[in-house]
Amino acid sequence: MTHADFLFELGTQELPPKSLTALSNALETSIVNQLRELGLTHAEVTSYATPRRLAVTINQLSSQQADRSESRRGPSVKAPEKAVEGFARSCKVSLKELAVVDTDKGQYYEFERHIKGAKTIALLADVIDKALAGLPVAKRMRWGSSRNEFVRPVQWFILSLGNELIDTQLFGLTNDHLTRGHRFHSGGQFAIQSASSYAQQLRTEGHVIVCFDERKAMIRQQISEQAIALNATAVIDEKLL
């Protein structure tokens, strides 16, 4: 089975600072849980959060569900013929396609259906829709003339598996490889080449550090350096970092 890297980025107007990590964690958790329920395996998962974006990358996501079989137990072999025919009709098969299996209660008819696994690319739009709908947003807002609702107006998004964009829309927007960098220091929009290059491209081309914990550590370090330069002790409020 083949695998590909997954990327989802949602670009917005400035998100509530106090909600940023909660939104990021909830988005990652929902996506991962849904993929597990769909039987899709993957490697490392990384979530990112900045004032104007939420993002998740997943390494080596299965490109297709595994094929599976589902067995449906029917009536006893001693049951009236009409009951057996009714079971076959409900399974949309002929009587010849029913098997007879031995159980503790005797012999029963059974039908085993072979189900081909769906391609992951056909499942991801629904995964993202459900993940966004379930985010812990106390109060959603509308913008423009549409009836779309989110914590802040959505301005762009990227949803891709490997090099392929998922054919879908979110909040009235069309999927694209384009992201946006720092509001003042970047040159505007630029294309993300792959999920694996996402964080580095934002850093070098967009002048954005997308890792929340890295930004926090940098701010803490800069505060400490300034305190030392002033021969002072920094009093750091974690809520403000």
Residues 107 and 200 occupy one common structural domain: no
Instruction: Tell me the sheet residues that pair with 54.
Output: 10, 49
The residue to which tokens 């598996």 are assigned: 161
Residues 46 and 155 occupy one common structural domain: yes
Interatomic CA distance for residues 176 and 198, integer angstroms: 14
Residues 20 and 111 occupy one common structural domain: no
> For the chain, how many structural domains are there in total?
3
Residue 109: how many CA atoms within 13 Å on its side-chain side?
22
Please report the pLDDT score of residue 241 as a whole number. Answer: 65
Residues 153 and 176 occupy one common structural domain: yes
- In this structure, what CATH number is given to the domain that contains residue 180? 3.30.70.260
160, 185 Cβ separation under 8 angstroms:
no
Residues 59 and 164 occupy one common structural domain: yes
Residues 137 and 190 occupy one common structural domain: yes
Domain-terminating residue out of 100, 115, 130: 115
Element (H, E) at 222: helix 212-229
Residue 17 DSSP SS3: helix
42, 62 Cβ separation under 8 angstroms:
yes
Residues 125 and 196 occupy one common structural domain: yes
pTM of this structure: 0.83
Domain-terminating residue out of 96, 115, 134: 115
Domain-terminating residue out of 115, 148, 182: 115
Residues 187 and 150 occupy one common structural domain: yes
pLDDT tens figures, 150-159: 999 999 999 9
Residues 27 and 89 occupy one common structural domain: no
Amino acid at 63: S
Residues 48 and 137 occupy one common structural domain: yes
- Domain hosting residue 52, numbered range: 3-64+119-209
pLDDT per residue rounded down to tens, the chain (241 residues): 799 999 999 999 999 999 999 999 999 999 999 999 999 999 999 999 999 999 999 999 999 999 989 899 999 999 999 999 999 999 999 999 999 999 999 999 999 999 999 999 999 999 999 999 999 998 899 998 888 899 999 999 999 999 999 999 999 999 999 999 998 888 889 999 999 999 999 999 999 999 888 888 888 888 888 888 888 888 877 776 6
Buried b (16+ CB within 10 A) or exposed e, 138-147: eeeeeeeeee
Residues 183 and 223 occupy one common structural domain: no
Residues 172 and 161 occupy one common structural domain: yes
H-helix segments, 17-80: 20-37
- Could you count the other beta carbons within 10 Å of the beta carbon of residue 237? 6
Please report the pLDDT score of residue 48 as a whole number. Answer: 97
